[in-house]
Amino acid sequence: MKKQPKKPVTLADIAAKAAVTPMTVSRVINSSGYVHTDTRERVMRVAREMNYRRNGLARGLKRQCTETVGMVIGDIANPFAAELSRAVREVLEEHGYTLFICISEHTAKEDVQAFDSLADHRADGIIVATRASKSGNERLAELIDSGVPVSLIGRDFRHEHADLASADNLKGGYEATTHLIEKGHKRIGFIGVSLTQGLRLRRFQGYLEALKDHGLAVEDQLIVGGRDIGEQMPGYSTEEMGYDGMTKLLELPNRPTAVFARNDFTAMGALNAIKRANLRIPDDLAIIGYDDIPLASHTSPALTTVRQPTREQGRCAAEFLLRRIEGDREQPRVEKTFPCDLIVRESTTLLRELTSSGNRKREIKTA
């Protein structure tokens, strides 16, 4: 009497065995409507015996919702994205939604693919945490127009009906740079973008603005790394970029005294290059990262960096999305920007500053 495992058990199968109609079984499974206690127990027993699993496809088709949310991120293995997804999941779970994650590997093509997959499989909503791209934005706009609830995290894209949670990376970059300037640095490099591509990166804009506001010149040769070919680079390999970029900077006849790295991984690669060159940090070269990944406090010297409120952004985006899913899909856009915090650690702080405070602005000699 062993059954073929091929065909999954359906409500009808259970109904037959329990001498009721599929509708009654449905009521039992969903605990909705009236069912007599005896019947309920009988049905439940049979369902368990037959190892019933509900069919989400049929259910979703009929009910027009799947209790599922998709999230698109550019790069797994990025502590920032990890924390984001964790926060998103937390919120969704409280509301009974399941999170499915798609990875775009930072390419526009797979970004679009991910949107399509999620939309086609009728996710109730989509959270987008990937970098903007032309084709991605277009497809996104199409989906939003056709009624798919969308919530963005730090993506440079606006739409009337898509909410946005982001960090104030412009200010973060500004403060990081200002921090270095206040330490007396006048020649500050940036690792991780090309000048042309960089304009899309808010923290880089902050860097430029800070230099300008303090009357410092932007030197092309101090801006290194970043490939112009569409940034097809998974974040995890950016330490390579940091190492290479810093190596390039060190070869300059007149090298910078401080460096702002695009993110902490880049900073760690740079850190390594500096050490290999037998230079002292921060005495010979100060360095600042971005994101405050867990490792940042575990390098030596510990990395000065900028923390963005990751959990908050994730939770916020999830809440925005749920409001849209469960409420009016056409409601006007909401946008929330979270402030960033400068986390000062050793990589920008001279040892003597650590003990004696005061006299902050000080000239640091160029090498």
Number of C-beta neighbours around residue 194 at 10 A: 17
Task: By CB under 7 A, tell whether 8 contacts DNA.
Answer: yes
Minimum CB distance to DNA, residue 120 (Å): 9
Task: By CB under 8 A, tell whether 351 contacts a copy of itself.
Answer: no
Three-class DSSP category at 188? strand
Task: By CB under 7 A, tell whether 326 contacts DNA.
Answer: no
317-329 burial: b if 16+ Cβ within 10 Å, else e = bbbbbbebbeeee
Three-class DSSP category at 292? coil
Q: Pick the closer one to a copy of itself by CB: 149 or 226.
A: 149
Residues numbered 85-104 forming contacts with a copy of itself, rule: CB under 8 A:
85-86, 89, 98-103
Candidate residues 268, 286, 321, 340; the one interacting with a copy of itself per rule CB under 8 A: 268
Per CB under 7 A, the segment of 11-19, 138-146, 307-315, 353-361 that binds DNA is 11-19
Q: Which two tokens stand for residue 243?
A: 């190492």
- The item of DNA, a copy of itself, none sharing an interface with residue 363, based on CB under 5 to 8 Å by kind, is none
Size of site (CB under 8 A) for a copy of itself: 67
- The item of a copy of itself, DNA, none sharing an interface with residue 176, based on CB under 5 to 8 Å by kind, is none
- The item of a copy of itself, DNA, none sharing an interface with residue 78, based on CB under 5 to 8 Å by kind, is a copy of itself
Size of site (CB under 7 A) for DNA: 32
| Those residues with Cβ within 8 angstroms of residue 264's Cβ, 6 or more apart along the chain or in another chain | 289, 290, 291, 292, 293, 295, 296, 303, 305
Question: How would you classify the pairing of strands 305-307 and 258-261?
Answer: unpaired
- Please name the amino acid found at residue 295: L
Angle in degrees, CA 134, 137, 143, rounded to 5: 145
Residues numbered 214-243 forming contacts with a copy of itself, rule: CB under 8 A:
234, 236-237, 239-240, 242-243
For 122, 158, 264, 299, 328, the CA distances from 190, given in Å and listed in that order, are 42, 28, 13, 20, 44
d(CA 343, CA 206): 17
Q: Pick the closer one to a copy of itself by CB: 82 or 342.
A: 82
CB 291 within 8 A of CB 173: no
d(CA 19, CA 13): 10
Minimum CB distance to DNA, residue 132 (Å): 29
- The item of DNA, a copy of itself, none sharing an interface with residue 12, based on CB under 5 to 8 Å by kind, is DNA
**Taking the C-alpha atoms of 193, 195, 197 and 201 in order, what is their torsion angle to the nearest 10 degrees?**
60
**117 burial type by CB count under 10 A (0-12 exposed, 13-18 middle, 19+ buried):** middle
Residues numbered 33-52 forming contacts with DNA, rule: CB under 7 A:
33-40
- The item of DNA, a copy of itself, none sharing an interface with residue 146, based on CB under 5 to 8 Å by kind, is a copy of itself
Backbone dihedral region for residue 255 (phi beyond 0: left; psi -120 to 50: alpha; all else: beta): beta
R_g of the chain, CA atoms, integer Å: 26
Candidate residues 3, 45, 51, 55; the one interacting with DNA per rule CB under 7 A: 55
- Which residues in this chain contact a copy of itself in the complex, by CB under 8 A? 5-6, 8-9, 51, 53-58, 60-61, 66, 68, 70, 75-79, 81-83, 85-86, 89, 98-103, 105, 113, 116-117, 119-122, 142-143, 145-147, 234, 236-237, 239-240, 242-243, 265, 268-269, 272, 275-276, 293-295, 298-300, 329-330
- Residues within the interface to DNA (CB under 7 A): 7-8, 10-12, 19-24, 26-27, 29-30, 32-40, 54-55, 58-59, 61-64
